[in-house]
Structure 1
Amino acid sequence: MSALVGAFTAILAIVSVPSTAHAAGGATCEGGNFRVILPGGQTFSARGGYKVKASNLANGSVIQVRGKYIDYDVNVSTFAVYNYTLTGAAGADDMTGGVRTPLFTSKEPAIANNALDSGDLDIRLDTQSIELRRDGRNIKMKIQAKDCSQGGIFQMEPEIDAGGTIVFTHVLAPGIYYYVNPYTLKVNFGNSAMVVGKDSPQVATKTYQDDFKTVWSVTAGGRMGGVLGEDAVESSPSATSCPQDCQAQNQIHGSVDVLDPRYDD
């Protein structure tokens, strides 16, 4: 039996333990602050905008994004993301129990290996947030993220001059798996402890799913994102169709129910 289905029963046992329940109330981002380390070691950490010339970025090299709560690496030529990890730093809404916890081995858009190499890299750092942008040959890529212990957004957005779609492949880290949440009946990812998340697509179609990998076809101007913790188990509707200038989150007027008892007051 597939772990995606079999985990349904296992998760019931996990979430029924009230002593491990987290109180609802939003993400803890206190102290969150990303810094970006270039392949040559130059580091940006202060709030503001920075431009790195294409000539200073070796093709296929990797920049390191390091936060208080979240770490990951980005290939400068493709904007593929590797080793997306919760650091285990202490926070009121920590899901890791203080244990460094990799969530994704990779989040890869299927674009040509040198598609972005002609463009400069734009970096914008703000309190608890980051935006990376690079305009290459007939394609633009953007990454937005917040540095929070849970609930922080993460979004990858492609823009293709000729339109069309891009395939994104998400591969979970060892110890993390996809499962059907028995309370929301939606697919989450997580582990046997308290870590829980959800892929958050917009203008995207899932074309493959197994226990450890998903494949999505994303329309240009759409996005592939993700949310963690309470945001991953809300009973909110799916994201609206948005082919241009998509936002990481849609506004909710009023309140939404949190059905998973791990995040219920």
Structure 2
Amino acid sequence: MSTAPTRRVAGIAAAVAAVTIAAVALVGVAPASASGKTSTGGDYAVTINGTTTNPASGKDFKAKDLAVSGTIKVRGIHNGFDIRVADLGVYDYTLTGAPDTQRMVTKPTVVFASKIPSLTAAQLSGTKLSQLEVRDDTLTAIFATGAGKFKIQAKDGAQGGIFQMETEFAGPVTFTHTLGAGLFYFTNPYTGKINFGDGTPAVTSGSGSHQMLLGKDSPQVATKTSQTATTTTWTVQPGGRLGGVLGEDAVELSAGATNCTSQCQAQNQIRGSLPGPPDPVDPTPLG
């Protein structure tokens, strides 16, 4: 399994250090049952072509038709990730562990080492950032190429339906998801769903309090084509998407996402309206 480069994880950790200090008064608050994605709020900053933008609270930053290269860095209070323009892959999707009643980790933890679409040179030709919108804890980025569009939506939350990627090409696109070091896919004995996590139990009190790290791939108009303990591959149809769901939403006894192909939302989940099962105990990696 590929693992995230240490220097990029360290960069995300440094970026949230000041936030962690400012929020230290919240440490020791016992995790509540999930009623939202975060108890402290989120805030994204984005670095494009070496320039960092972080709009003031309640204000929008919008840009269109930007020529971009290298890596776009997205850094929030609760999560962060990189977008590599060369292949439109997402790398080092990291939960920061910043103090919050909804957090599932207490230090920067790479949840996904990579989420990579298999796009041809022709599909990637002429890639530009056709639209970018950043407002507080929400980000939308749409890339236009010579053959179609690729959309990323993200929410700076400690958990919930907080990330998705959508494709708009003439044919299906294969995605490969690779978990971060120490995480694995497993069958949840209470729901029968395939979840992922690191098996660390929740801590309900004290300075190290956190919920159990639990997640689930969330597809729409997509078919899983392979599954191992650390990777999945998917075929996503035009207009379909692959999302990521963390925390309570990942284990709800629900029917799952709708068969959406237009204006799909990263938070398109039931979000706490159904009772959740107990946390799994000593989950076993898929073999």
Structure-1-length-normalised TM-score = 0.82
Counterpart position of 1:112: 120
- What are the residue-to-residue correspondences of 1:46-125 with 2, within 5 Å? 46=55, 47-51=59-63, 53-55=65-67, 57-58=68-69, 61-96=70-105, 98-113=106-121, 115=124, 117-125=126-134
For 1:185, what is the secondary structure of its paired residue?
coil
Task: Check whether the contact 2:197–2:215 (CA below 8 A) recurs between aligned residues.
Answer: yes
For 2:249, what is the secondary structure of its paired residue?
helix
Aligned length: 236
- Cα deviation, 1:192-226, whole Å, max 9, x if unaligned, reads 21211110000000000000000000011010001
Separation in 2 of the partners of 1:94 and 1:120? 31
One-letter amino acid of the counterpart of residue 256, structure 1 = L
Q: Is residue 150 from structure 1 mapped to residue 166 from structure 2 by the alignment? A: no
Q: Structure 1 residues 182 and 254 mapped into 2: Cα distance closer, same or farther (>3 Å)?
A: closer
Counterpart position of 1:26: 36
- Cα deviation, 1:132-164, whole Å, max 9, x if unaligned, reads 11111111011001101111410100101x3x2
Choose the corresponding residue for 1:38, options 42, 45, 48.
48
Task: Check whether the contact 1:116–1:135 (CA below 8 A) recurs between aligned residues.
Answer: no
For 1:230, what is the secondary structure of its paired residue?
helix
- Cα deviation, 1:15-34, whole Å, max 9, x if unaligned, reads xxxxx975232321523111
Unaligned residue ranges in structure 2 (runs of 5+)? 1-29, 201-211, 281-287
Structure-2-length-normalised TM-score = 0.76
Counterpart position of 1:174: 181
Deviation at 1:251, TM superposition (A): 6.4
Deviation at 1:184, TM superposition (A): 1.0
Choose the corresponding residue for 1:232, options 247, 250, 270.
250
Deviation at 1:51, TM superposition (A): 2.2
One-letter amino acid of the counterpart of residue 110, structure 2 = P
- Cα deviation, 1:77-104, whole Å, max 9, x if unaligned, reads 43210000001111111111x2111111
Deviation at 1:178, TM superposition (A): 0.3
One-letter amino acid of the counterpart of residue 150, structure 2 = M
Task: Check whether the contact 2:173–2:236 (CA below 8 A) recurs between aligned residues.
Answer: yes
Q: Structure 1 residues 254 and 30 mapped into 2: Cα distance closer, same or farther (>3 Å)?
A: closer
Task: Check whether the contact 1:34–1:125 (CA below 8 A) recurs between aligned residues.
Answer: yes
For 1:26, what is the secondary structure of its paired residue?
coil
One-letter amino acid of the counterpart of residue 60, structure 2 = G
Percent of matched pairs sharing the same residue: 43
Separation in 2 of the partners of 1:77 and 1:176? 27
Q: Structure 1 residues 77 and 30 mapped into 2: Cα distance closer, same or farther (>3 Å)?
A: same
Q: Structure 1 residues 254 and 108 mapped into 2: Cα distance closer, same or farther (>3 Å)?
A: closer
Task: Check whether the contact 1:141–1:156 (CA below 8 A) recurs between aligned residues.
Answer: yes
Separation in 2 of the partners of 1:54 and 1:254? 38
Task: Check whether the contact 2:249–2:272 (CA below 8 A) recurs between aligned residues.
Answer: no
